[in-house]
Amino acid sequence: MPLSGSLGPRIIAGLPPLPAFLQHLAAACADDSFVRLSLTSPHEPKALVQRITAKLVLLRGQRQLSFTLKEARSDTTQNVPLPEAIAWVERKLRTEFRSAMLATTQADWQLQQPEAGEPRLIRHRASSKQAPQRSHDDGKRTFLGVDAQPWLRGLGIVDADGRPRPSLAHKRVQLDRYVEILSHLAADCGWVPGAGEAPLRIVDVGCGKGHLTFAAWHFAKTVLQRPAQVVGVEARAELVEHAQKLAQEVAGGELQFVRGDIGEVALPGVDMLVALHACNTATDHAIRRGVEAGAQLIVVAPCCHQEVRPQLGRPEPLAPVLQHGLMAERMAEWVTDGLRALVLEWAGYRTKVIEFVDGEHTAKNLMLAAIKLPAPPSAERRASAKAAIDAFRTFWGIEAQALDGLLGAAG
């Protein structure tokens, strides 16, 4: 049935329906009459992706179709440059979807490919006479577009068609959120996209399989549009070997993985030091190494907090609450990370405390981000910060903490 207000069904003469539909799509993208596109009616009723929508965006000066793959529990966005995007649509309509609707400012085009019967292309009156904004920022934004697909596939996070694997959909959300956070922190550091020819030097310590290391490289290359020198440091040799092989395939010499320990590995010059989910005092060692290396940006997402917990006192009026083990454990986490933030501020950094990802993905979702101040802290500021640290530690009964060496080294 034609849509309300249509001119009635009219089969386009000449080309078969699918090639004619693709021709209209290509023309609408070229002459800026494109409004929206949707692919519906999957061949498989229980298919993971039930619907795909698309908008035309201008991304880094290039026209692209931004596809949103609608799934039961999440949406995935892929940005595909023209004309590859037209071929992408053709492949989906030949193999996965039976119907499509293209809205343009001139007319709407409805493609029907029933299981039984002949395919049809139907013209309707234009549902919109005005093309939408081409900014990539309208609506939901993703930082992991088509440029991220090679390493996401290599890490097994998405399949061959770019769809997140169900068991790892949360990981892709986490990675996208991570790159988004880095983009905001980059602005705080004064790193302007496209500006600066010197490579951005990033070290990710305790990097595990390298998921976030690849995301950091993607951030430097795609978001900041700068050359990069990214090093992932991991103690487990088998993880280093696997990550290094993929790094050579997708990033060449700009990304490498080495075996080492957070506290002792040799560090090159560092602009940004990252340690996400490093256990216990490994986070403190990473902070110390970042400060000593003069990193402009230090980003840590602490994991377990074992050092302070046995020392934690029960100051009044909190003592009745802290007699409960769970409450004391949670408080020890806050106290540990609060002390880390104070030490970073003493060391000449402006510290932010950020929620990394939603608590439904992981309970360890706190991130500390420290941006180095333009000028070293004055003696008065250092003394004031040190007094705050001492008072904090005295209140909570903390006698020893892994950052003591950093404080002592500065006298």
- In angstroms, the CA 406 to CA 337 distance is 16
pLDDT at residue 329 is higher than 70: yes
Give the pLDDT mean for 335-362.
82
- In angstroms, the CA 351 to CA 343 distance is 10
Model pLDDT for residues 159-178, shown as the tens digit of each residue: 887 778 878 878 888 899 89
Residue 71: the pLDDT is: 78
Give the whole-number percent of the chain exceeding pLDDT 90.
54
Tell me the one-letter amino acid at 114.
P
Q: Which fold has domain 146-409?
A: Rossmann fold (3.40.50)
* Least reliable range by pLDDT among 98-102, 141-145, 176-180: 141-145
Give the pLDDT mean for 88-98.
95
* Least reliable range by pLDDT among 99-113, 211-225, 275-289, 381-395: 275-289
Model pLDDT for residues 295-322, shown as the tens digit of each residue: 999 999 888 788 888 888 899 999 999 8
Model pLDDT for residues 79-92, shown as the tens digit of each residue: 999 989 999 999 99
Domain with CATH 3.40.50.150 in the chain: 146-409
- In angstroms, the CA 313 to CA 328 distance is 9
Residue 58: the pLDDT is: 83
pLDDT at residue 190 is higher than 60: yes
Instruction: Indicate the pLDDT class of residue 110, thresholds 50, 70 and 90.
Output: very high
Give the whole-number percent of the chain exceeding pLDDT 70.
92
* Least reliable range by pLDDT among 11-15, 230-234, 281-285: 11-15
Tell me the CB-side half-sphere exposure of residue 361, using CA atoms within 13 A. Answer: 16
Residue 361: the pLDDT is: 43
Residue 73: the pLDDT is: 67
Model pLDDT for residues 352-391, shown as the tens digit of each residue: 988 876 544 445 578 999 999 999 889 999 999 999 999 9
Residue 193: the pLDDT is: 83
Exposure string (b/e) for 109-146, b if CB count within 10 Å is 16 or more? bbbbbeeeeebebbbbebbeeebeebebeeeeebbbbb
Tell me the CB-side half-sphere exposure of residue 102, using CA atoms within 13 A. Answer: 28
Model pLDDT for residues 273-290, shown as the tens digit of each residue: 999 888 888 899 999 999
Residue 144: the pLDDT is: 86
Sheet holding 107-112, edge to edge: 75-81, 62-71, 49-59, 34-42, 97-104, 107-112, 120-125
Note if the bond before 19 is cis, omega within 30 degrees.
Answer: no
